[in-house]
Chain A
Amino acid sequence: MSDAYIYNHLRTPRGKGRPSGALHSVSAVELLSQTLIQLRERTQLDTGLVEDVIAGCGSPIGEQGSAIGRSACLKAEYALTTPGQQIHRFCSSGLEAVNLAAAKVMSKQCDLVIGCGVESMSRIPIGSSGGAWSSDPSLAHKIHFVSQGISADLIATLHDFSREDADLYALESQRRTAHAWDNGYFDQSVFTVVDSIGQPLLSRDEHMRADTSLEDLAKLPAVFEKMGADGFDEQAISKYPELEKINHIHTAGNSSGIVDGAAAVLIGDADTAKKLDLKPRARIRSFASVGTDPTVMLTGPTPSARKALEKAGMQQADIDLFELNEAFASVVLLFIQEMNIPHDKINVNGGSIAMGHPIGATGAMILGTVLDELERQNLGTALINLCVGAGMGTATIIERV
């Protein structure tokens, strides 16, 4: 087996996932294509050596459908010999793309692969791709399907996280994100997205609200309350019958934002790095995906983290920084509680609550973010993970070299 190294990574800024968002006029394939072009330029990449482009995408239909990894390669004018593909594991698609890229390198079936991800949530709304798990009665009925927001509220109810706990967490996410941007922590890895005539469209994340306060957050309505009253609460309770009711604590302020964006990570073995004169920045130590109960759905982070640690032969104490996608505040609060992680070691530069969660791209994005931070703080190891739809979790451990 060979070691898989991260040579470089970068991402777009995240545009608001609405018609008024700065990236709304840019197609998904264009977002990913610009990301691939930037990666080529920054690394002076001979794209003929890239042996696969694996793209994660959360709603792989319409303009995001049909192997968008290949479409983006063609649009970015990579070598015609570079193949591309598309993978889907809901919210961890981007991280899973990186893990599969690493696996190809580790198994020596490829020397150089790009793991990437893209989502234009303003153009292809979340849930557009349908799917049996949520809508085929013969399955949705069996697994007590509820929407993710209900699952997040279910976690809060089962573990007694209050609205205030969630809002405090959200406030801190906003503060950390603002601090990171203000101090230029993200500058090196975020590039400016341009329109078709070269005019800049967006160079900073657009969803952040640095000036929000606890009072502002407390005013927001609990978004999943109505959905819960329409039947999902009942479905959740029939699976967790010790509960009398679901405590709806999640709002637009303490859940991840809906945004557009793309990210890419260049991964290869040691020899190829030498050949290309690129310095490997980190080694991928291990990765793991797990399945959990699909109704509560979002409890995958802990078991996936433990499995990745085990695969790497590491202890939790060996991890310097944790980066868990802030899908919902309760997901992070639960992970912190179950793993007993100090808050100052996790999501140190904020996360999706402040910056947004472009489903298919987030995994690749947050892996890059925490790598930059390891370097900034001169630390060694990080564990990146996400909770995943239909009851899953995906984790990756990286180590600087």
Chain B
Amino acid sequence: MNLVTMNYEHSGDGVVIITIDVKDRPMNILTPDLHQDVAKVAEQLATDEKAIGAVIQSGKSSFVAGGDLKRLVSLYDLERSPEQAYSESRVFTEALRKLETCGKPVACAINGAALGGGLELALACHYRVVVNDEKIPLGLPETNVGLIPGAGGTQRLPRLIGIKDATELILSGAHISPQKALKLGLVHKVVNRDELLDEAIRWLKEEGVSEQAWDKRGFQIPGGATLNNPKIGKLWQDLTTRVATTARYNYPAPLAALEAIFNGTTVISFDAALKIETREFSKLTRDPVYRNMTRTLFLNKGIADKHERRPQSVEPVKVKQATIIGVPGEVESLALACATADIEIRTAGENAKSVAQSMQDYAAKHSEKKIESGRSTREKADALIARIALDVDKNSLAESQIILLTGGTQIDTLADLLADLSSTTLIASTTSDISIADITRVLPKYKNTIGWHIKAPVEKNTTVEIILAEDASDECIAMSLDFSKQLRKTPLIQSDILPLFSRHCNQAYMEEALRMVAAGIKPALLENAARSTGMKTSPLRLIDSMSLQTLEDQCDDKDAKAVLHTLHSQHDRKGLVENKGFYDYNEGKTISLWSSLNEHFPPDSEQVDIEVLRQRFLSIQALTALSYYADETMQAADADIASVLICGYPSYTGGMLSYIDTMGISDFIKQCDQLAVKYGPQFTVPAFLHELVKSTNRIYPKAV
């Protein structure tokens, strides 16, 4: 027997130990070789006369961590036929079924993460024992990448723990701890690490059974199944409504999961159930949504986190001290995020004392909450707070490796304040009020200047936009990336061309909504249209969250300006802060759209089709993103990650550029041309795109 990813060994007493060890990978992941090997060991075990059964374990620190994302992403570009996708998706399912029905008991010893296909492998075993370590994640996270469990997970899990809990785990993609898994009935036993293998062998010798419950005659799914049970009927109604209102008809995976579980738990034959699952799974692998989500949110985000563009010649930098300059209200969450990353915080400038106090208060409040919920200790909290110095010391500026400028910083005071700065110090503007050029103007000597933009609260948001000057030194690039890494933020790099990508895209989105209001589209309709695209925040709510006056100043479009002007200057509706904007609010909570909107912006008797409104919202942002890609200000992957993680663009698209690519560039041009004729020149397609059609006709290269 020629095995590539595992060993098959007799350990005496007829017990076979199968050890999974995928070569050249830090973790075991599911490769085509591993699929084949499972089938081979199942066949071997069935005919191995010396074997009474087997234990499956891992040769690495985790068990099996899931699928090979890179391989998964490439599947889409293979343009497989439905039959081909189906038969290829059956391979691992059939291998596991072989193992499950090989006639000998198989125990699974789980020493670390068992996720996705890894957990599905475990579920096909007759007994599961896990190390008692709450850090070990167990789960089926496939829906997060636009897929469903495709190796029996949607069928075995409900048969083990009931439809309700199984569907919850599959829809949420949640990781659960071994103890939680034991409670749910997903595993049989939790033991200390050094007892793992012994327990698996003990079960094999003393209790070993080789038939799954669902293969026994008269098997009933715990908690019931089928619509003959009114409770189950109601459950499916609730689940369907939940999927419809959260996935909003944009993400096919959650519905496919429901269909697989619903239909699969109604059939009596387990083999039929597995076929039902494979149909749904294989359908998803031919849909661009999984490709888009996986490519942007996992593959490319992973690459961004690995800092591939960091100059290797520069030694890694650990920031020990930073000075934050600004005003109360702008500095706090940045200070907390830095202090959490072991950075000493100093401050400087006119109101340094109140800034320092405000930063410390915020950190203290945050720490109290963490202590209350058991996520921190008094000791850790005290150390954290102590890193934010209340005393203002002029010398501290020279000792800081990075100066962070936040909103409210008076640019003209910097010349004096930072006059003696060392040339290696990095000056990072975190506010779009201060550009690199502004800093260069007041401090012409300094070259180490970047934009480092992240939305507040900084401790929560995970993605940062870095603006680099064209002539940024290697040291400057390296340090800005190292600093981001120290704060555990995914860095997305843009050249020094303003405005900031995320700001520009949001602006385009909001202006388009304002044009719609001006043109008599019902506010509720356009809000619902935007929500139905999956945009994280509907445009009028996004507008309300800002100052309507400031936004008016930034708007290019005169119709958009006029709408904002009417609201804030004629009707004193300045935005959420004053509980009045497009919506009425009560202490920040939305009540409803302002009842007089119709009066001031009379709705047109003919309303535009919602599909057109959806196209307008998605396309206008995509066109904006395209301008950054066209002049090489940003890489496609970074623009796509920023689209989803910062701008709130829907993840099923894979980001604004993937949206164009998925539609096909020619079709995107056609759509924009139609929109431009009807709704204005903002939809004019740049010449760049016409050229692209003639050359590669795609933004991302084919993955195969």
A391 to chain B, nearest CB (A): 17
Contact B236 A136 (CB under 8 A): yes
A145 to chain B, nearest CB (A): 7
Closest to A130 in B: B227
Q: Which residues of B contact A145 (CB under 8 A)?
A: 237, 240-241
Residue A135, interface by CB 8 Å:
yes
- Measured in the bound complex, the distance between the Cα atoms of B234 and A230 in whole Å is 13
Of A134, A135, A136, A238, which contacts B528 at CB under 8 A? A238
Closest to A59 in B: B230
Interface centre among B244, B593, B607 (most CB of A within 10 A): B244
Residue B23, interface by CB 8 Å:
no
Contact B241 A231 (CB under 8 A): yes
Contact A241 B529 (CB under 8 A): yes
Contact B244 A138 (CB under 8 A): no
User: What 0/1 pattern do residues 30 to 44 of A give for CB contact below 8 A with B?
Assistant: 000000000000000
- DSSP majority for the B interface? helix
Whether A130 contacts B230 in the complex (CB less than 8 A), given A137-B258, A140-B240, comes out as yes
Of B239, B249, B529, B592, which contacts A244 at CB under 8 A? B592
Whether A125 contacts B592 in the complex (CB less than 8 A), given A136-B262, A141-B255, A242-B525, comes out as no
Within B542-561, the residues touching A (CB, 8 Å) are none
Contact A141 B248 (CB under 8 A): no
Of A135, A140, A235, A243, which contacts B245 at CB under 8 A? A235
A17 to chain B, nearest CB (A): 16
Residue B233, interface by CB 8 Å:
yes
Of A131, A137, A234, which contacts B240 at CB under 8 A? A137
Of A135, A234, A244, which contacts B237 at CB under 8 A? A135
Contact B238 A230 (CB under 8 A): yes
Residue B183, interface by CB 8 Å:
no
- Measured in the bound complex, the distance between the Cα atoms of B529 and A232 in whole Å is 18
The number of chain B residues touching the other chain, given as a range, is 20 to 34
Closest to B524 in A: A244
Contact A235 B528 (CB under 8 A): no
Closest to B592 in A: A244
Residue A237, interface by CB 8 Å:
yes
Q: Which residues of B contact A131 (CB under 8 A)?
A: 227, 233
Q: Which residues of B contact A237 (CB under 8 A)?
A: 528
Q: Which residues of B contact A242 (CB under 8 A)?
A: 522, 524-525, 528, 607
Residue A245, interface by CB 8 Å:
yes
User: What 0/1 pattern do residues 236 to 264 of B give for CB contact below 8 A with A?
Assistant: 11111111110011000001001100110
Q: Which residues of B contact A238 (CB under 8 A)?
A: 244-245, 248-249, 528, 532
Within A212-246, the residues touching B (CB, 8 Å) are 230-232, 234-235, 237-238, 241-245
Contact A141 B244 (CB under 8 A): yes
- Measured in the bound complex, the distance between the Cα atoms of B525 and A131 in whole Å is 32
Within A250-266, the residues touching B (CB, 8 Å) are none
- Measured in the bound complex, the distance between the Cα atoms of B244 and A232 in whole Å is 10
Contact A230 B532 (CB under 8 A): no
Q: Which residues of B contact A241 (CB under 8 A)?
A: 524-525, 528-529, 532, 610
Q: Which residues of A contact B241 (CB under 8 A)?
A: 140, 145-146, 230-232, 234-235
Within B532-575, the residues touching A (CB, 8 Å) are 532
Contact B245 A128 (CB under 8 A): no
Of B230, B249, B262, B524, which contacts A125 at CB under 8 A? B230
Q: Which residues of A contact B242 (CB under 8 A)?
A: 231
Contact A127 B230 (CB under 8 A): yes
Contact A244 B593 (CB under 8 A): yes
Q: Which residues of B contact A243 (CB under 8 A)?
A: 524, 528
- Measured in the bound complex, the distance between the Cα atoms of B238 and A136 in whole Å is 11
Residue A207, interface by CB 8 Å:
no
Residue A307, interface by CB 8 Å:
no
Residue A144, interface by CB 8 Å:
yes
Q: Which residues of A contact B233 (CB under 8 A)?
A: 127, 130-131, 134-135
- Measured in the bound complex, the distance between the Cα atoms of B593 and A131 in whole Å is 38
Contact B248 A245 (CB under 8 A): no
Residue B596, interface by CB 8 Å:
no
- Measured in the bound complex, the distance between the Cα atoms of B241 and A237 in whole Å is 12
Q: Which residues of A contact B248 (CB under 8 A)?
A: 238
Whether A141 contacts B593 in the complex (CB less than 8 A), given A134-B233, A135-B233, comes out as no
Residue B228, interface by CB 8 Å:
yes
Q: Which residues of B contact A235 (CB under 8 A)?
A: 241, 244-245
Contact B255 A137 (CB under 8 A): yes
B225 to chain A, nearest CB (A): 12
Contact B593 A134 (CB under 8 A): no
B414 to chain A, nearest CB (A): 47
B539 to chain A, nearest CB (A): 14
A228 to chain B, nearest CB (A): 11
- Measured in the bound complex, the distance between the Cα atoms of B525 and A237 in whole Å is 10
B521 to chain A, nearest CB (A): 10
B597 to chain A, nearest CB (A): 10
Contact A141 B607 (CB under 8 A): no
User: What 0/1 pattern do residues 501 to 541 of B give for CB contact below 8 A with A?
Assistant: 00000000000000000000011110111001000000000
Contact B227 A135 (CB under 8 A): yes
Within B578-613, the residues touching A (CB, 8 Å) are 592-593, 607, 610
- Measured in the bound complex, the distance between the Cα atoms of B237 and A230 in whole Å is 11
Interface centre among A232, A237, A241, A245 (most CB of B within 10 A): A241
- Measured in the bound complex, the distance between the Cα atoms of B239 and A134 in whole Å is 11
Contact B245 A234 (CB under 8 A): yes
Within A311-351, the residues touching B (CB, 8 Å) are none
Q: Which residues of A contact B230 (CB under 8 A)?
A: 125, 127-128, 130
Q: Which residues of B contact A141 (CB under 8 A)?
A: 240, 243-244, 255, 258
A170 to chain B, nearest CB (A): 27
Contact B593 A140 (CB under 8 A): no
Q: Which residues of A contact B234 (CB under 8 A)?
A: 127, 135
Contact B237 A140 (CB under 8 A): yes
Closest to A137 in B: B258
Contact B236 A135 (CB under 8 A): yes
Contact B529 A130 (CB under 8 A): no
Q: Which residues of A contact B592 (CB under 8 A)?
A: 244-245
Closest to B529 in A: A241
B229 to chain A, nearest CB (A): 8
Contact B244 A144 (CB under 8 A): yes
Closest to B593 in A: A244
Q: Which residues of A contact B262 (CB under 8 A)?
A: 136-138
B531 to chain A, nearest CB (A): 8
- Measured in the bound complex, the distance between the Cα atoms of B532 and A135 in whole Å is 23
A136 to chain B, nearest CB (A): 6
B259 to chain A, nearest CB (A): 5
User: What 0/1 pattern do residues 156 to 183 of A give for CB contact below 8 A with B?
Assistant: 0000000000000000000000000000
Q: Which residues of A contact B258 (CB under 8 A)?
A: 137, 141
B639 to chain A, nearest CB (A): 29
A241 to chain B, nearest CB (A): 4
A385 to chain B, nearest CB (A): 28
Contact A137 B239 (CB under 8 A): yes
- Measured in the bound complex, the distance between the Cα atoms of B237 and A210 in whole Å is 37
Q: Which residues of B contact A127 (CB under 8 A)?
A: 230, 233-234
- Measured in the bound complex, the distance between the Cα atoms of B610 and A241 in whole Å is 8
- Measured in the bound complex, the distance between the Cα atoms of B245 and A146 in whole Å is 12
User: What 0/1 pattern do residues 118 to 149 of A give for CB contact below 8 A with B?
Assistant: 00000001011011101111101100111000
User: What 0/1 pattern do residues 483 to 516 of B give for CB contact below 8 A with A?
Assistant: 0000000000000000000000000000000000
Q: Which residues of B contact A130 (CB under 8 A)?
A: 227-228, 230, 233
B627 to chain A, nearest CB (A): 30
Q: Which residues of A contact B245 (CB under 8 A)?
A: 231, 234-235, 238
Nearest 7 pairs of A and B residues by beta carbon: A130-B227, A241-B528, A137-B258, A244-B524, A231-B241, A234-B245, A130-B233
Task: Show 18 A/B contacts (Cβ-Cβ < 8 Å), sorted by A.
Answer: A127-B234, A130-B228, A130-B233, A131-B233, A134-B233, A137-B239, A137-B259, A145-B237, A145-B241, A146-B241, A232-B241, A237-B528, A238-B245, A238-B532, A241-B525, A242-B522, A242-B524, A244-B527
Besides A138-B263, A144-B244, A243-B528, 9 other CB < 8 A contacts? A134-B233, A136-B262, A137-B262, A141-B243, A230-B241, A231-B242, A235-B241, A238-B249, A245-B592
